[in-house]
Amino acid sequence: MATKVKSATKGTKEAAKIAAASHSSNGAAQQHQSMFAAVLARLDKAAKLVNLSPEVAAVLRKAEKQIIVGVPVKMDDGSVQVFDGYRVVHSTAIGPSKGGIRYAMDVDLDEVQALAAWMTFKCAIANIPYGGAKGGIMCDPRKMSAGELERLTKAYTVAMADVFGVDKDIPAPDMGTGKREMAWIVDAFSKVKRHYEPGVVTGKPLTLGGSEGREAATGRGVMVAALEAMKVTGVNRKTATAAIQGFGNVGSHAARLMHNAKIKIVAISDHTAAFHSPKGIDVIAALKYAADNGGVLKGFKGGKEISNEELLTLNVDVLAPCAIQNVITAKNANDINAKIIVEGANGPTSAEADDILAAKGIVVVPDILANGGGVTVSYYEWVQNRYGHYWTEAEVAKKQDDSMIRAFENVWYNAKQYKTTMRIGAYITALKRLEKAVKYKGFF
């Protein structure tokens, strides 16, 4: 059969718009504001408060390395599509760069730059010896077969073989990727390097050197951050209610673990549907329903169907956006009724919404703190791979919880000390560590 060549980059913005519109029943992702500009706005604010040296600020305002590759893949119908693949290494000031790989239609350089910078700050806040990076491929994994995704992942890995490395740059899962993709990366990378190198990625299946507790780690961190936030804000844990947006890796584990911690989950959602039940959603039934229903909630009978916009404005103690970026913006921030927002997703709140939420007295536990549980256990996985000795799930959970509580306390302390929000307090916590590292290493 003749090979048809068509570029997946054609009409990139058009496709991104369509994808955003079809993915986004809450209308959140449709205007693609510069995410990296939002990172810089917060960085500048924190830098001013903490009197960061201008040299260090200049270093952190730019990514160290940005790679864009065209990845040709033979599709099942015999045609060839060329996908846009990205990897941005934002900083290696504290150690090798670390960050997930995202498969989504709205992936572009701006988004990957922002996500990479957040990884730098996240690792500094969690006090783990990594810098920050992020990768992504503009594709719609829901519309691709397993074979196409395997070829795409392996071709992208080969294209990035000089970038990735166990002491250089270590990917992990993010939106649209999971342990299956990580296993493919191990395979392709090991073949290129001619030796087995499982430590090049984290979030692997257990049999390939994955860590106990990694899959649930980000959701677990969201749960611990929510409990800590309840303590400092005086919310009664026994009567607490929560609404969770997103039912993928982060949202589903956050829902399950908060439910186990006896927090009443009154609303859940994914890109197909949202459900509300003031009496509490049976989270275990929802998990089973999604598992039997192609991973989505559409058709679930355990609550009244509402929209994703309504979920965000429910009167709850904890709102946990765990799906996509920019769902809380200047447009709806005034309508948010939660006491606490725990950001499981990266960038769910726009920079303009920050001020509105702060004025309303809503405590926002920012993404770079709240979803740091994933990279923390990724670090444990990397340590275990090098050590050749593996910890139990309980050991991993204990280390992770202690680490999240310490990080939360540091951020809370800095927010109080500098009379600012937890988000800026988190940036301050990161900047203090990064400034030391950059200065110790010096410049050419």
| 250 vs 438 by CB, closer to ligand NAD | 250
Please, what is the Cα angle at 306 between 353 and 285, to 5 degrees?
Answer: 110
Residue 367: how many other CB atoms lie within 10 Å: 25
> Smallest gap, in angstroms, from Cβ of residue 70 to ligand NAD?
24
Choice between 23 and 151, CB closer to ligand NAD: 23
In the complex, least distance from residue 180 CB atom to ligand NAD, rounded to whole angstroms = 12
Q: For residue 275, what are the contacts with CB-CB under 8 A and spacing of at least 6?
A: 267, 268, 269, 281, 286, 297, 300, 302, 303, 304, 305, 306
Q: Which is nearer to ligand NAD, 241 or 269 (CB)?
A: 269
Give the H or E element holding residue 320.
strand 318-321
CB of 278 to ligand NAD, least distance (A): 20
| Minimum CB distance to ligand NAD smaller for 56 or for 327 | 327
Q: Which of 128, 348, 369, 430 is nearest to 225 (CA)?
A: 369
Which residues contact ligand NAD by CB under 6 A? Answer: 23-26, 28, 173-176, 218, 245-251, 269-271, 308, 322-324, 344-346, 371, 374
DSSP-derived secondary structure for 357-374: HHHTT-EEE-HHHHTTHH
Nearer to ligand NAD, 25 or 332 (CB): 25
Residue closer to ligand NAD (CB basis): 349 or 371: 371
Q: Phi first, then psi: what are they for 424, rounded to 5°?
A: -70, -35
CB of 209 to ligand NAD, least distance (A): 17
48 contacts: CB under 8 Å, gap ≥ 6: none
CB of 136 to ligand NAD, least distance (A): 10
Which residue number places its CB atom closest to ligand NAD?
248
The two structure tokens encoding residue 366: 């920012």
The single-letter DSSP state of residue 282 is -
- The CB-of-312 to ligand NAD minimum distance in angstroms stands at 10
Q: How far is CA 193 from CA 101, 386, 414, in A?
A: 20, 17, 44
Cα 364 from chain centroid (whole Å) = 16
134 is catalytic: yes
What residues contact 148, with CB distance under 8 A and at least 6 apart? 73, 75, 76
Least Å distance, CB 250 to ligand NAD, is 4
What distance in Å separates the CA atoms of residue 110 and residue 34, rounded to the nearest whole number?
6
DSSP per-residue string spanning 275-321: EE-TT---HHHHHHHHHHTTT--TT--SSEEE-HHHHHT---SEEEE
Residue number, 122 or 339, with CB nearest to ligand NAD: 122
d(CA 104, CA 370) in angstroms, rounded, equals: 22
- Which of these is catalytic: 45, 98, 122, 134? 134
Angle between helices 351-359 and 35-49 (to 10 degrees): 50
Q: Which is nearer to ligand NAD, 24 or 329 (CB)?
A: 24
Neighbours of 22 (CB within 10 A): 11
Smallest gap from residue 153 Cβ to ligand NAD (A): 15
Our CA angle for 92, 62, 38, nearest 5°, is 115
Q: Could you list the active site residues?
A: 134
